[in-house]
Structure 1
Amino acid sequence: MEKIKTSIKKYWNWRSRSYGFDKDKSIKTAESWESVLKGLVPGDPGKRAIDIGTGRGQFAIYLARLGFCVTGIDLSENMISQAMEHAKKNALAIDFKIQDAEDLQFKDNTFDVVVSRNLLWTLPDPNKAVKEWRRILKPGGVLVVSDGFWMNYTWKRLHHLVLNLAKNIFRNDSMISARFFLSYAAFQKRLPFYEGICFEDADSLLQEARFKEIKVHDTSCFGTNPYLKKKRMNNIEPLFFIASAKA
């Protein structure tokens, strides 16, 4: 397990500088995400929120703007460094820490809100992670989780990867695809949701962790899928979901 996490951390350390913010996709995407969070977790002074798998701190920034006292955690120290810089540029005080989403170093009932985006797919033990997220939530606290069925068909797309890399060897997206393949290929079968996760599977995880009032939310405010660069595998568009639940 530690070897898997070391490889995952190594990839995201490398990826940290080129990993974009929501506004890099579009201003509308950033505004939509901030609006969604505002609707699901209205902030009050003194309330505590944690962004798990914070990356470069995008969700942590949104939560801080809503008035929360925010903590952001990530396995990648380089991502945490980028997140700290991002928060500083936005003049926001956010407590960023290097931690494992499956083994959180916080006491029970610490946070009013837990959020996590695009993390479940890359966890070796998502069941354990979600139970940890439930543990650190105060009674009645809110979880917001978003992820999707990304169709990470690494081996099925290997020949396409090689061809694209040969054609576009100096393009950044081709290098990202190649590095992703090299990082995840050896242990992808040990990640339960490597190919992606749908709401129904997330719902099962949340129910097993004893979350209540589990709901899936409309994503039409984003227009097209904000994570879609191009259609994949038989022109099927990857789907993503936003869900909330209470402790």
Structure 2
Amino acid sequence: MSELLEDIRKYWTKRAKGYSEYNQGELSGEQREKWRQAILAELPDKPLTEIHLLDVGTGPGFFAIILAEAGIQVTAVDYTEEMLKEAKANAGELSEKIHFQQMDAQNLEFPDGTFDAVITRNVTWNLEHPVRAYQEWYRVLKKDGVLLNFDANWYRYLCDEELRKGYEEDRKKTKEQQVEDYYEGTDIAEMERIAAAVPLTEILRPAWDLHVMEEIGFQDCRSDETVNERILSRADQINGESTPMFLVTGRK
């Protein structure tokens, strides 16, 4: 294990409880169904009960839960043990139908061609080896399997003055519009230190992702940079107005 990977693991171990509370909010609100419908629209055209899906970096289990509810056969992995504990607790009785496993997103332990779909959210940006991760996600997909990667240019404000101004404006707007500031109560200094060390912080995305995916062999690669407007809550959109979420998809 590299020192950086260990730092990332420690950070998300500390964040597990708070991130789980955020996911619980999603599970109790309208985002639960908005997310599910958006994801189902991208999956292979086959009965949901026949789809084997890998949720990479499941965190507290939001995707795993809402997709297992739909009848999909879900395997959910995360590098952080505490996140998996939160995921199992959030899933309740449904956890018996979800295969939770501790695993590195960049070094998956599954055979080639295992899954019909791979899905991930807010994971790629803080990986030490994101190209290797994309290669692994491609490897474990079946022929015609699909990748759905939801992410954003998190912490790019560290190397972009305009985005720094946008980030600071986002913090002001959370107070002006009386919504929770997701950055409060987190170790911002530690996350910024980690973000400065990972490669994607300085790279403008999703153009980079599409290029890498095509180089690896993904077909029909595309990005959706308005997906946040359809899915995210008002609080989410205000918190990340300067760094909106995007979706990149591709087929094997």
Give TM-score, length-normalised by structure 1. Answer: 0.81
Query: Which residue of 1 is the match for residue 8 of structure 2?
Result: 8
Equivalent pair of 2:31/2:233 in contact (CA under 8 Å): no
Equivalent runs, 1:57-96 vs 2, <5 Å: 57-88=61-92, 90=94, 93-96=97-100
Residues 1:227 and 2:231 are matched in the alignment = no
Tell me, yes or no, if structure 1 residue 208 matches structure 2 residue 215: yes
How many residues align structurally?
229
Would you say the 8 A contact 1:16–1:56 is kept in 2?
yes
User: SS of the residue aligned with 2:236?
Assistant: coil
Distance 1:225 1:141, change over 3 A: farther
The residue that corresponds to 2:178 in the other structure is none
Residues 7-156 of structure 1: pairs in structure 2 closer than 5 A: 7-19=7-19, 20-21=22-23, 23-24=25-26, 27-41=29-43, 43-88=47-92, 90=94, 93-153=97-157
Provide the C-alpha distance between the structure 1 equivalents of 2:34 and 2:202, rounded to a whole number of angstroms.
26
Paired AA for residue 246 in structure 1: R
Q: 2:189 is matched by which residue type in structure 1?
A: F
Classify 1:25/1:86 alpha carbon distance in 2 versus 1 (closer, same or farther; 3 Å): closer
Deviation at 1:237, TM superposition (A): 1.9
- Provide, for residues 63-99 of structure 1, a one-character-per-residue CA deviation record: whole Å limited to 9, x for no partner: 2122211100011100011111111255661011110
Q: Which amino acid aligns with 1:29?
A: Q
Greater fraction helix: 2
Letter of the 2:244 counterpart: L
| Root-mean-square deviation over aligned CA pairs | 2.8
- In the TM superposition, structure 1's runs of 4+ consecutive aligned residues that sit over 4 Å from their partners are 89-92, 154-157, 223-226
Residue 182 in 1 paired to residue 186 in 2? no
Give the distance between the partners of 1:197 and 1:54, measured in 2 at CA.
24
Aligned to 1:194: 201
* CA distance in 2: counterparts of 1:67 and 1:215, whole angstroms: 27
Displacement of 1:193: 1.5
Higher mean C-alpha deviation, range 46-55 or range 90-99 = 90-99
**For residues 198-245 of structure 1, what are the alpha-carbon distances to aligned partners after superposition, in whole Å with 9 as ceiling and x for unaligned?**
2211111211221101122351323767634446xxxx6212111221
Identity %: 28
Q: Gapped runs of 5+ residues in structure 1? A: 165-170
Q: Which secondary structure does the structure 2 equivalent of 1:242 belong to? A: strand
Structure 2: segments with no counterpart, 5+ residues: 173-180
TM (norm. structure 2) is: 0.80
